[in-house]
A and B are shown apart, each in its own frame.
Chain A
Amino acid sequence: MSLTPDDVKRIARLARIEIDDAQAQASQGQLNTIFDLIATMQAVDTQNIAPMAHAQEVYQRLRADTVTESDRHAAFQAIAPAVENDLYLVPQVIECP
Chain B
Amino acid sequence: MSDASLSALAAQLAAKQVSSRELAQQYLDRITTLNPSINAFITVDADKTLAEASLADALRAAGNASPLTGVPIAHKDIFCTDGWLTTCGSKMLHNFIAPYDAHVIQRFKAAGMPSLGKTNMDEFAMGSSNETSYFGPVKNPWDTDYVPGGSSGGAAACVAARMAPAATGTDTGGSIRQPAALCGITGLKPTYGLVSRFGMIAFASSLDQAGPMAPSAEDCALLLNVMTGFDPNDSTSLEREKEDYTRDLDKPLAGLRVGLPCEFFTEGLNNEVAASVEAAIAELKKLGATTVEISLSNSKLAIPVYYVLAPAEASSNLSRFDGVRYGYRAPEYANLDDMYSKTRAQGFGAEVKRRIMIGAYVLSHGYYDAYYLQAQKIRRLIADDFTEAFKTCDVILGPTVPGTAFKLGEKSGDPVEMYLNDLYTIPANLAGLPGMSLPCGFDAKGMPIGLQLVGNYFSEARMLNVAHQFQRATDWHTRAPEGLK
In the bound complex, do residue A61 and residue B206 qualify as a contact, i.e. CB atoms below 8 Å apart? no
In the bound complex, do residue A44 and residue B378 qualify as a contact, i.e. CB atoms below 8 Å apart? yes
A15 touches which of B207, B315, B415 (Cβ 8 Å): B315
Flag whether A66 is at the interface (Cβ < 8 A).
no
Flag whether B324 is at the interface (Cβ < 8 A).
yes
Within 8 A of B (CB), among A36-86: 37-42, 44, 46, 49-56, 58, 60-61, 63, 72, 75-76, 78-82
Within 8 A of A (CB), among B279-309: 298, 301, 303-305, 307-308
Q: Tell me which residues across on chain A come within 8 A of B333, comparing CB atoms.
A: 91
A11 touches which of B338, B357, B377 (Cβ 8 Å): B357
Within 8 A of A (CB), among B220-260: 232, 235-236, 238
Q: Mark B319-351, 1 if CB is under 8 A from A, else 0.
A: 100111111110001111111111011001000
For residue A30, which residue of chain B has the nearest CB?
Answer: B415
In the bound complex, do residue B374 and residue A52 qualify as a contact, i.e. CB atoms below 8 Å apart? no
Please classify the interface of chain A as helix (H, G, I), strand (E, B), loop, or mixed, using the class held by over half of its residues: loop
Instruction: State in angstroms the CA–CA spacing of A49 and B384 once bound together.
Output: 11
Q: Tell me which residues across on chain B come within 8 A of A42, comparing CB atoms.
A: 370, 374
For residue A74, which residue of chain B has the nearest CB?
Answer: B99
In the bound complex, do residue B236 and residue A56 qualify as a contact, i.e. CB atoms below 8 Å apart? yes
Q: Tell me which residues across on chain B come within 8 A of A40, comparing CB atoms.
A: 301, 304
In the bound complex, do residue B354 and residue A55 qualify as a contact, i.e. CB atoms below 8 Å apart? no
Q: Tell me which residues across on chain A come within 8 A of B335, comparing CB atoms.
A: 91, 93
Q: Tell me which residues across on chain B come within 8 A of A54, comparing CB atoms.
A: 206, 236, 432
In the bound complex, do residue B324 and residue A80 qualify as a contact, i.e. CB atoms below 8 Å apart? yes
Interface size class, chain A: 35 or more
Whether A58 touches B344, Cβ cut-off 8 Å, given contacts A15-B357, A42-B374, A52-B377, is no
In the bound complex, do residue B206 and residue A63 qualify as a contact, i.e. CB atoms below 8 Å apart? no
In the bound complex, do residue B97 and residue A79 qualify as a contact, i.e. CB atoms below 8 Å apart? yes
In the bound complex, do residue A80 and residue B376 qualify as a contact, i.e. CB atoms below 8 Å apart? no
Q: Tell me which residues across on chain A come within 8 A of B162, comparing CB atoms.
A: none
Flag whether B431 is at the interface (Cβ < 8 A).
yes
Q: Tell me which residues across on chain A come within 8 A of B298, comparing CB atoms.
A: 44
Whether A90 touches B360, Cβ cut-off 8 Å, given contacts A37-B307, A44-B378, A56-B238, is no
Q: Tell me which residues across on chain B come within 8 A of A91, comparing CB atoms.
A: 333-336, 338-339
A16 touches which of B322, B370, B431 (Cβ 8 Å): B322
Q: Tell me which residues across on chain B come within 8 A of A8, comparing CB atoms.
A: 357
In the bound complex, do residue A18 and residue B345 qualify as a contact, i.e. CB atoms below 8 Å apart? yes
A61 touches which of B232, B359, B416, B430 (Cβ 8 Å): B232
In the bound complex, do residue A18 and residue B377 qualify as a contact, i.e. CB atoms below 8 Å apart? no
Q: Tell me which residues across on chain A come within 8 A of B301, comparing CB atoms.
A: 40-41, 44
Q: Tell me which residues across on chain B come within 8 A of A79, comparing CB atoms.
A: 95-97, 99, 326
Q: Tell me which residues across on chain A come within 8 A of B354, comparing CB atoms.
A: 27, 30-31, 34
Q: Tell me which residues across on chain B come within 8 A of A41, comparing CB atoms.
A: 301, 304-305, 308, 371, 374-375, 378
Instruction: State in angstroms the CA–CA spacing of A16 and B319 once bound together.
Output: 9
Instruction: State in angstroms the CA–CA spacing of A44 and B297 once bound together.
Output: 12
Flag whether B393 is at the interface (Cβ < 8 A).
no
Q: Which of A8, A18, A49, A78 has the most CB of B within 10 A?
A: A18
For residue A19, give the distance in angstroms from its CB to the closest CB of chain B.
Answer: 7
For residue A46, which residue of chain B has the nearest CB?
Answer: B377
Q: Which of A40, A75, A90, A92 has the most CB of B within 10 A?
A: A90
In the bound complex, do residue B339 and residue A90 qualify as a contact, i.e. CB atoms below 8 Å apart? yes
For residue A81, which residue of chain B has the nearest CB?
Answer: B329
Q: Tell me which residues across on chain B come within 8 A of A46, comparing CB atoms.
A: 374, 377-378, 381
3 A-B pairs with the lowest CB-CB distances in the bound complex, closest first: A55-B432, A51-B376, A46-B377
A residues adjacent to B (C-beta < 8 A)? 8, 11-19, 27, 30-31, 33-35, 37-42, 44, 46, 49-56, 58, 60-61, 63, 72, 75-76, 78-82, 88, 90-93
Q: List 11 A-B contacts (CB under 8 A).
A: A13-B341, A15-B344, A17-B341, A17-B357, A27-B357, A31-B357, A37-B416, A44-B374, A55-B432, A56-B193, A79-B99
